[in-house]
Amino acid sequence: MTPKAVFWDMDGTLVDSEPLHEAALVAALRSVGIAPPPDLHQRVLGIAAWPVYEMLRDEFGLALPFDDWIVRKYNHYLPLAETLKPRPGAIEVFNELRALGVEQAVVSNSDRLIVDANLRAVGLTYPGMMTVSRNDVIDGKPLPEPFLRAAYLAGVDPADAFAVDDSLTGAMAGLAAGMKTIFWPEAPMEGPAGAIVINSAEELRTQLGLSPGVSAAPHPPAGTFSP
């Protein structure tokens, strides 16, 4: 049986943007004379812009004010977004669930600017699409507010929804929201207690009650309007 609602993380879950974020972050750091630490990727995965800035300021001496820093980082990221690719299998599952009438939303710790740019880049836009960015909530992941906001917008009980996320931060937020939480990391690893850990799009299909390898029913492609 398919769920009533599925709420998706964006970076690393629906789209393969984590390498682009890392490249932009490295370029921005080097532009201000800071050598990126070797564990940068692990330290920033799933974390919102402000906590990342605080870490860079406190541990590596980043002197720019946050507003100047984030503009610099996004100026490096946005041109890269044009090359963005979907995570294999993820958008196909999204579109199949959409064809079945399942409520869905994209729930991200990224700023609205990045959410919109990424979804446009992979063609995942359509009238009425629900998205929750870091700008739409007071507290981002790992706190539950972003996923609870999505449940409110979709008009569903959080207990009837699935949260799908590739980061420990996001999976913790889904669990805190009281949702069935699927942890789909980029590389195999243990998830937080209570999460359903998967390692492939086929496993995702199984957990969401979809038949293995079955194409979605006919549906207007993302980005088109059907009256």
Half-sphere exposure in the Cβ direction for 166 (13 Å, CA): 25
Specify whether the CB–CB gap between 134 and 108 falls below 8 A.
yes
- Positive or negative: CA dihedral 98, 19, 168, 60: negative
Rounded to whole angstroms, the Cα distance separating 185 from 165 reads: 7
pLDDT value, residue 215:
45
pLDDT tens-digit readout, 57-103: 999 999 999 999 999 999 999 999 999 999 999 999 999 999 999 99
**CA neighbor of 212 nearest in space, from 204, 201, 202:** 202
Residue 217 has pLDDT above 50, yes or no: no
Q: Which residues, in sequence order, are bridge partners of residue 8?
A: 106, 164
The enclosing H or E element of 26 equals helix 18-31
Rounded to whole angstroms, the Cα distance separating 34 from 55 reads: 13
The identity of residue 127, as a single letter, is: P
pLDDT value, residue 147:
98
Spacing of C-alpha 194 from chain mean position? 20
